[in-house]
Amino acid sequence: MASQISTPLPDKVKAPTPMMAQYLSVKESHPDSLLFYRMGDFYEMFFEDAEIAAAILGIALTKRGKNQGEDIPMCGVPVHAVDAYMARLIKAGHRVAVCEQTESPEAQKQRGAKGPLKRDVVRVMTPGTLTEDDLLEPRAHNFLAALGRSGAGQALAWADMSTGDFFVEDLSHDGASDDNGANIGLEDVIVRLTPSELIVPQGQDCTHWPWADELCITEQAPSMFDSSLGTQALQAFFGVSSLDGYGDFSRAMLSAAGALLGYIEATQIGNMPRLQPLQAIAHNVYLDIDPATRRSLELTRTLAGERKGSLLHAVDRSMTAAGSRMLGARLAAPLCDLAAIVARQDLVSWFIENEATMTAMRDKLRALPDMQRAVTRLTMGHGGPRDLAALETGLRIAETVVGLIRQPQMSQPQTNQNGTNALITTMPARMEALLEMLVAPLALADKLAPALADELPFLARDGGFVRLGYDQGLDDVRQLRDESRRLMAALQARYAEETEIASLKIKHNNVLGYHVDVRATHADKLMQSELFIHRQTTAQTVRFTTTELAEMERDMAAAAGKALARELEIFEALTAAVAACASAIGEAATALAELDVAGGSAVLARDAQFVRPDMRDAAIFEIEKGRHPVIEMMLPAQTPFIPNDCKLGADGDDAAAIWLLTGPNMAGKSTFLRQNAHIIILAQAGLFVPADRAVIGIVDRLFSRVGASDDLAKGRSTFMVEMVETAAILNRATPRSFVILDEIGRGTATYDGLAIAWATLEHLHDVNQCRTLFATHYHELTHLQQAKARLLCHSMQVREWQGDIVFLHRVIAGAADRSYGVHVARLAGLPYKVLGRAEQILAELEAGKHGAVDVGQVADNLPLFDYRSDDRGFGVPAGAVRPSAVLESIDAMLPDTLTPRAAMDLLYELKAMRAKDKDDHK
């Protein structure tokens, strides 16, 4: 989806009004965005912008004035509901430039100018630069990414403006492009992050990117990607004279990060968000998961793009949106570093052992506001009093959490999963670090608490959010304002008394301001009075003003204005206090998210029997009673999930590294393959796994080819896609990798497919030497067990029962003897005739198995219509069995000659014959 739209303006708007002249000049500098031009309580759009927006938003397209004799199309949206409209336009791939009034009428007066007040674009909204809660998904990151280049090097920088995360990764390492020159590294990272928007230099050829249609790509001037300018911009932004303290950055990385910063500056018109120090991601920090594997494993989204049904959805027990975001990021980028994984596991173990603390902490976290996003909004000037309150609440919760974790646990003896008394283990080092992060910004809560009232407006400019007693100056002007109100009430009483009109009221509206309001029947009395000045007559009432009232209104407005001005000063001061410790708050929010993820994982371990995997630095994989985390949770309560073991690359060189899995369709092969891939992902994300016991050697690259689909957009058939992906596996898998292959070679002619599967298996065994699970329907491959020392055959257990098969979903040693494909086809509801015919052909082919099969002869011997179907639908060769009595009776029957009574008798007769037939078949 390209965001580049151009909404050309009419060549010349003849003699535009001053307002239209201003609109046109602003629009000229933002030709690629829809311009939201602020007019009072509305944002208005004109010309083609109006036509585009009205069509997308389904709002009325009207007109305002004329241009060269033609009406100027116009539409508008109310300011208070702008977020919802904005979200729809951005989702439709548009950018929105928000143009606001930038001076007050007083300032204009001082300038001695006339005409429309100054207006300018204060922000350009694009998919990757959103910070408003209403425009963001709470439980997902919203990344903006930039592709940088320098010479042959390339790098990707990404940031979530709403949370302040800022990273860069060099993509120039070995293997960053395949034999066809495709950017494997870039695609890997893009699919891992799924950014909302990618910035590229103008002229970048995106046509060969398979994922280009799925995200918004924004072109920017090549000069923005200059690495030297990027370095300067980064140094200036972080206020440092060198970036050395942040890490080692290649020129491509600086180009990417600099361009990203430049784009944020351009869209936010200099109003920069808070960003964490730029962090370089080393290429081998994360488990390498290629895009096809990532998609097929449905880690954070299903193939249909849904969160429900994904691995993340199945294991997410987070109490907060920030926890869910962190968990999603961890599943998308599992670690390769043993110590870092163990550090994450230690936190989970600690919570399991200190269950009461975990429960109490989770209870507190339930009310935790999204602190990261609140800080960003405040520091960018879009925040309000409720964001301040959110921070105060968040920091108080942080304080409580620190107390809960630090408090001695001995008071409540606990029982852990194994039924033994829990060990109160020493606090993990990471926990200590997290507590320190939580404590750092706590002083801010003490600053915010006394300032904020109980009921808070959404916007600071609505006033009334500063607590009484917080600021003497404010209290004084408020008193003045309230005093005026009291005086106004007294005035009303006096006028009522003097005029003897008991129903006389002093009211307020936006047009007249304060006025005296009497029923029409009393109007004459006031009309004759010199005191009352007539302002308006309506059907029911007549309205007046008085000099006294006008003066009082002026005093009141002045007091209210002063009170609001003071409140806004206080808001600014509090926002500045927040900004001063923004990074500390950011870190505290991250620490709470990390505790939330660990607590959630502990709950999952307790409630769904997940265990801590024993992580090793070796090519080992031992899973006892492993389960598929997603399918297990989706099965109906009465259907238990059948756990299965998997043992690969155990100690000793000759231990099996490859399991060759055979078995019928629907027996559970794919489920078994995927569950082991999920176990690896969960383990390396630092989480617990669905098994009774797990020993897992760190995997460097995970490949999973389970199921395939056409890539018709790129002109590649299913088989071609499968071969491209297999090529990537054979070229890239190392002895530390883990490969999962399901039915490779099935998309082509039998012998070609078998030959490819055979050669692939040999290559994996002899050359890649990686841990492999290989499911196939080519039973011939099981012969390889004799020739390949590290290959073991396994199969899915099936039981035959009354001519049917029952899938036991159990993996057992040894090869399967047959496929039962025709049985499965029957379950799927293939017509009986076709099933019968398939059985016949299968019998013939199997009969010729040991000699050469003459398929031509099979076809001659078994012409499609020369067979009968037995009454269960399974074909039997013609003549082999006498047609059943039921069928013979039907053949002999002459319906036209039957009386109703005879027809009824015949029906009973047929029913009886059928029952006898059934008995005969038992």
Ligand X SMILES: Nc1ncnc2c1ncn2[C@@H]1O[C@H](COP(=O)(O)OP(=O)(O)OP(=O)(O)O)[C@@H](O)[C@H]1O
d(CA 59, CA 51): 10
d(CA 94, CA 5): 7
Q: Are 727 and 693 in contact (CB under 8 A)?
A: no
**CB neighbour class for 757 (10 Å; exposed up to 12, middle 13-18, buried from 19):** buried
Q: How far is the CB of 614 from ligand X (least distance, A)?
A: 23
327 binds ligand X (CB under 6 A): no
Task: Please indicate if the annotation marks 665 as binding a ligand.
Answer: yes
721 binds ligand X (CB under 6 A): no
User: 368: helix, coil or strand?
Assistant: coil
d(CA 444, CA 583): 12
For residue 668 the two structure tokens come to 């559970």
Task: Decide whether 733 or 796 has the Cβ nearer to ligand X.
Answer: 796
662 binds ligand X (CB under 6 A): no
Window of 3-11, 31-39, 222-230, 665-673 that interacts with ligand X by CB under 6 A? 665-673
d(CA 93, CA 81): 20
Task: Decide whether 23 or 641 has the Cβ nearer to ligand X.
Answer: 641
- Using CB under 6 A as the binding rule, the residues of this chain from 816 to 845 that contact ligand X are none
For residue 85 the two structure tokens come to 């409209």
- Binder among 163, 194, 324, 665 for ligand X (CB under 6 A): 665
Q: Which of 693, 581, 675 is nearest to 633 (CA)?
A: 675
740 binds ligand X (CB under 6 A): no
Task: Decide whether 298 or 355 has the Cβ nearer to ligand X.
Answer: 298
Specify the amino acid at residue 196.
Answer: S
Tell me which DSSP letter residue 335 carries.
B
Q: Are 123 and 141 in contact (CB under 8 A)?
A: no
769 binds ligand X (CB under 6 A): no
d(CA 677, CA 698): 13
Window of 328-336, 595-603, 666-674, 913-921 that interacts with ligand X by CB under 6 A? 666-674
Task: Decide whether 20 or 689 has the Cβ nearer to ligand X.
Answer: 689
d(CA 349, CA 354): 8
Task: Decide whether 81 or 634 has the Cβ nearer to ligand X.
Answer: 634
- Using CB under 6 A as the binding rule, the residues of this chain from 98 to 127 that contact ligand X are none
669 binds ligand X (CB under 6 A): yes
Residue partners of 85: CB distance under 8 A and separation at least 6: 53, 57, 59, 77
Closest residue to ligand X: CB criterion: 668
Task: Please indicate if the annotation marks 825 as binding a ligand.
Answer: no
Please tell me the total number of residues recorded for the chain in this structure: 922
Window of 328-336, 664-672, 870-878, 891-899 that interacts with ligand X by CB under 6 A? 664-672
Task: Decide whether 627 or 788 has the Cβ nearer to ligand X.
Answer: 627
Q: How far is the CB of 670 from ligand X (least distance, A)?
A: 3
744 binds ligand X (CB under 6 A): no
230 binds ligand X (CB under 6 A): no
Bridge partners of 156?
147, 169
Window of 75-83, 151-159, 174-182, 668-676 that interacts with ligand X by CB under 6 A? 668-676
667 binds ligand X (CB under 6 A): yes
**CB neighbour class for 781 (10 Å; exposed up to 12, middle 13-18, buried from 19):** buried
Task: Decide whether 292 or 630 has the Cβ nearer to ligand X.
Answer: 630
Taking CB under 6 A as the rule, which mask of x and - marks residues 781-810 in contact with ligand X? ----------------------------x-
Task: Decide whether 544 or 641 has the Cβ nearer to ligand X.
Answer: 641
User: 444: helix, coil or strand?
Assistant: helix
Q: How far is the CB of 821 from ligand X (least distance, A)?
A: 9
What is the 3-state secondary structure of 743-778?
CCCCCCCHHHHHHHHHHHHHHHHHHHCCEEEEECCC
668 binds ligand X (CB under 6 A): yes
Q: Count residues near ligand X (CB under 6 A).
A: 11
- Binder among 20, 378, 397, 642 for ligand X (CB under 6 A): 642
d(CA 275, CA 168): 13
Residue partners of 426: CB distance under 8 A and separation at least 6: none
Task: Please indicate if the annotation marks 669 as binding a ligand.
Answer: yes
- Binder among 249, 514, 641, 758 for ligand X (CB under 6 A): 641
154 binds ligand X (CB under 6 A): no
631 binds ligand X (CB under 6 A): yes
Specify the amino acid at residue 266.
Answer: A
Tell me which DSSP letter residue 203 carries.
T
Bridge partners of 813?
794
Task: Decide whether 827 or 907 has the Cβ nearer to ligand X.
Answer: 827
Q: How far is the CB of 313 from ligand X (least distance, A)?
A: 17
Task: Decide whether 564 or 630 has the Cβ nearer to ligand X.
Answer: 630
- Start-to-end CA distance of the chain, whole Å, equals 63
Task: Please indicate if the annotation marks 663 as binding a ligand.
Answer: yes
Bridge partners of 696?
615, 621
Residues that bind ligand X (CB under 6 A): 631, 641-642, 665-671, 809
Annotated binding-site positions: 663-670
Annotated binding-site positions for ATP: 663-670
